[in-house]
Chains A and B, each alone.
Chain A
Amino acid sequence: MSRVIEAHGFTNRVLGWHAWLDVVQLADASCEQIAVLEESHPKAKESDYYLFLVHQPEILRQRSAAFNAIMYAPGGLPRAERELASTVVSRINGCVYCASVHAQRFEQLAKRDDVIEQVFNNPATAGASPREKAIVQASIDLTLAPGQVEPAQLRALREVGLSDDEILDLIHSVAIFAWANRLMLNLGEPVG
């Protein structure tokens, strides 16, 4: 599969990322920094993003533990739907790098890309089913107006079949990308 989708500056192509300030040089890294890089991501030692964040190893350690538990834990919301929520949040926040990575992950897991094209074009109407539309809408609402989240917005998720366990995973997936997008957008820029 793997069709290139480009719209409004967003893409599902593979991008790199370059830090704007000085990253930690591996040769100078402490044992703790090396350990945190290794537990954060398989390619963290080659990544400007992780090499910059590892200036504060304990903070990165806990962020990576939260991120990996939210995105990869078994059960609950299907992983493809977590990736869809992440892609929507990244599209809304304008994070081209994160949107590209998580669009690719959605496509790998779901074996389809129709909803990615819709999210890139117009997130407000995206979703190939009522369930997807509800997930997309809740992701937009919690991203843009966390101060106005109402129980009725979550009831809309129940009405399309989400259990409380799945709603929790969705809240986590949206919230962790409020975190990730802000780092990617404000500490460096995509390249390639």
Chain B
Amino acid sequence: MTDTYDLSTDIVDRIAGLSPGSPTHATRHKRDKVAAATQRSYEALFDSALLDLSLTERLLVALYACTLSNAPALAEHYAERLASSNADRAVIDQIVEGPLNESDIQEPRLRAMLSFTRTLIESPIDGDKTALERLPAAGISTPAVVALAQLIAFLSYQIRLTAGLRALQVLNATELA
């Protein structure tokens, strides 16, 4: 984890299509504390040193969340990161081609994670104690449950932030044209 926030590697700017010098980029970076905390959240959630939940598992969750949310630019980003991981190609294809039936996933731990992902993304009100307890039952420790829930919740934020910023960027570009 670095303490400096490097604008040039900002993932939200890249996905939303905000170029330095553009009005929307300037607007966003007036709230630089938010931009920095957003980038550092992304880095912390995909930190390879994070124990209990493999980076491949986290990237598969991210790909599934973005696919379910109709966020193609973010889905592509996570698919690119998965391409250089040791993820099972068949699982990636099942997620991308959808609709995924989680019961087709052989590995119980990943199956439990992807089911939890769908509930939180599509219908968070339907989550209950029983749904949460399926995670420890699949061998996922409490710190890993926290990392997983934070990851899916962060993705819900990242999806809406990039969608809103992209729309603002298009609005500004249209009006300047």
Interface residues of chain A, those whose CB is within 8 Å of chain B, are 20-22, 52-53, 55-56, 58-63, 65-66, 69-70, 73, 76, 93-95, 142-143, 146-151, 153-155, 164-165, 167-169, 171-172, 174-176, 178-183, 185-187, 189
Contact = CB atoms under 8 A, between A and B. Distances in A.
Contact of B156 (A52, A59, A94, A178): A178
Interface of B: 1, 23-24, 27-28, 30-31, 33-34, 36-38, 40-41, 44-45, 47, 50, 69-71, 116, 119-120, 124-125, 127, 129, 131-133, 136, 142-143, 145-147, 149-150, 152-154, 156-161, 163-168, 170-172, 174
Nearest to B162: A146
Contacts of A169: 31
B28 A179 contact: no
Given A56-B143, A168-B28, 7 more contacts: A55-B146, A62-B44, A147-B69, A154-B171, A167-B164, A171-B165, A178-B160
Dominant SS at the B interface? helix
A179 B132 contact: no
Dominant SS at the A interface? helix
A185 B119 CA distance: 11
Nearest to B51: A56
B156 A179 contact: yes
Nearest to B41: A62
